[in-house]
Structure 1
Amino acid sequence: MATGIVLLFNIIRYFYYHQYLALPFNWTFFILTAIFLGIAWVAGKQFDKVKYLSERDPLTGTYNRRTVEEYFHKAAKISDIKKQSLGIIMLDLNKFKEVNDNYGHHKGDELLIQVAAALNTFVTKHDLVGRWGGDEFVVLVDNMKENTADAYVKELQLAITLENVEASVGYAIYPKHGKSFQKLVQEADAYMYRDKKDK
């Protein structure tokens, strides 16, 4: 984007000075253009990096809580227009503390990265995976239907079962179980802890 603007500016600059004003062309024009393009490219890369870090969890690369909530509000509006539902899945890794205690936090971090990768592989391009905090993740599922939700959750649990560490999972569906993000998270969270107690 930034390099495109700089390139357009230099094209305009060329026509203004050398066509409109009929000033003699100087080879230094290319040097200045290259310098401007270089600065724009570096600035653009820095902007992309800052934007990425502001939206993502630094360990797993999944989206952070703020971005998940922002995405929910946009997705909910689209769901209303299409008269569709939107699923919120909360999941918590079982025995994760034991992994940290027995093998160290480095092993725990590796496990979180593996779970995040498994989640991203499982979901579709219309869904969104975020790290809620600690060993908890949240998944927003486009057009998740109540009659197929239980089957979907079981498949997801199988997909992320790694090294004997399973996940307790709960879900809530917009707008059936609530319309606010906070209400739906509470519902999914309560469901998840009931699942954890049953294990």
Structure 2
Amino acid sequence: MEGFHFDCHFLSIAWWGGKQFDNVRYMSERDPLTGTYNRRTVEQSFHKAAKICDLKNQSLGVIMLDLNNFKEVNDEYGHHTGDELLIQIASTLNKYVTKNDLVARWGGDEFIILVSNMKESFAVDYVQKLQREITLQSSENLSNVGTSVGYAIYPQHGNSFQKLVQEADAKMYKEKKEK
């Protein structure tokens, strides 16, 4: 009976240790506010996805999304409301994308999405639908918040993650200036 008692303690400690490892791993991969992936994780995922794209002769979309007038939300309604808006946007993005896509908070009020096998002909339609979905969700609470979105496609627009982010970012800010 004494061996059984020892085994139970050992199993309890092993379970607890495994649970702690899972928690640490989750926190190292995720943005603590929105629960989306973080910058480091999206970059690592891009490199893995790009290798798969190369093997399958597919493409990979990199979409940058920025909230318009987010500073005004924080200034007028407070940072708690701004945080709630970011959580809401992250939830909307996660519902919008497919299970093979990845949503990450890039920083502040910017998000990045990796879209599996995204074609140039599909990109504009995808981005417009995404913007409508976010505008619809955010307008329920704050009518003055919109989005600017830009995209780049691997390998057509670049071979490195940094190049694609720059390309998507440039398109996003061009759109922002036009609004």
Q: Secondary structure at the match of 1:57?
A: coil
Q: Secondary structure at the match of 1:124?
A: coil
Question: 1:24-173 counterparts in 2 under 5 A?
Answer: 27-161=1-135, 162=138, 163-164=142-143, 165-173=145-153
Higher RCO (C-alpha 8 Å, min separation 6) = 2
Q: Which residue of 2 aligns with 1:198?
A: 178
Q: How much does 1:148 deviate? A: 1.2
For 1:24-67, what per-residue CA distance to the aligned partner results, in whole angstroms no more than 9, with x for missing partners?
A: xxx11110110000000100010000000000000000000000
Please provide the CA RMSD for this pair.
0.5
Q: Which residue of 2 aligns with 1:18?
A: none
Distance in 2, matches of 1:182 and 1:98, equals 29
Distance in 2, matches of 1:107 and 1:101, equals 10
1:179 to 156, 159, 162: 159
TM-score, normalised with respect to structure 2: 0.96
Q: How much does 1:69 deviate? A: 0.2
For 1:146-184, what per-residue CA distance to the aligned partner results, in whole angstroms no more than 9, with x for missing partners?
A: 011100000111111203211100000000000000000
Consecutive aligned runs of 4 or more in structure 1 exceeding 4 Å deviation: none
- The letter of the residue matching 1:168 is S
Q: Which residue of 2 aligns with 1:189?
A: 169
Q: Which has the larger radius of gyration?
A: 1
5+ long unaligned stretches in structure 2: none
Distance in 1, matches of 2:161 and 2:126, equals 21
Identity of aligned residues (%): 70
Distance in 1, matches of 2:79 and 2:150, equals 26
Q: How much does 1:106 deviate? A: 0.4
Distance in 2, matches of 1:142 and 1:53, equals 25
- The letter of the residue matching 2:148 is S
Q: Secondary structure at the match of 2:51?
A: helix
Aligned residues: 173
